[in-house]
Amino acid sequence: MTDDRSDTARRRFLQVLGAGTALGAGAATAAAGGDADDDPKRPLEDPGLVTLESDDGFETTVARVEPALEERDLQLVATVDHAANAESVDMDLPPTTLFLFGNPAVGTPLMRASRSIAIDLPQKLLVWEADGRVFVTYNDPQYLGRRHELEGVDERLANVADALDNLARAVADGA
């Protein structure tokens, strides 16, 4: 299959996994359709992702995630330290930690509207560092709604988008 949806899915898969230097920005901008030499310090640019720059360092930003989730009654499902995983196979990767979290009362109706959205749930929040800058990235719920052709859940998606924006800002800004 070579349609736009499969190309977008492939790019996102490579970005999330950090293939090559995708999380370092060079390959990420190329994967997103930009020239890798445009600006090596530019964060990920993808219509399906929202990226904020943190006001603090990586460890401080990561430390904010769990309390921010607890404050919002969101269940932490898993934490993946991609840099530690890379180190376990004698490879280097800049600090990159993925948090999977959710609320079944919110996600289940989305999956009932379109089962394929389960591939993008639970929600994810990525904290990553590139060139001394720290970023917080998450999937845009409105984009996921279009990707999975969700119908009848516009208000729910808007609420999820607001909640994720609030969470990401709390993690990035410490507010």
What end-to-end distance do the CA atoms of the chain give, in Å?
A: 44
Q: What is the pTM of this model?
A: 0.76
Q: What is the pLDDT of residue 175?
A: 77
Domains of the chain are 49-173 (3.30.310.70)
For 132-168, write each residue's pLDDT tens digit. Answer: 999 999 999 999 999 999 999 999 999 999 999 999 9
Please report which confidence band the pLDDT of residue 44 belongs to, taking 50, 70 and 90 as the band edges. Answer: low
DSSP 18-77: T-TTGGGSHHHHHHTTS-TTS-TTPPP--TTEEEEE-SS-HHHHHHHHHHHHHHTT-EEE
> Does the pLDDT at position 4 exceed 60?
no
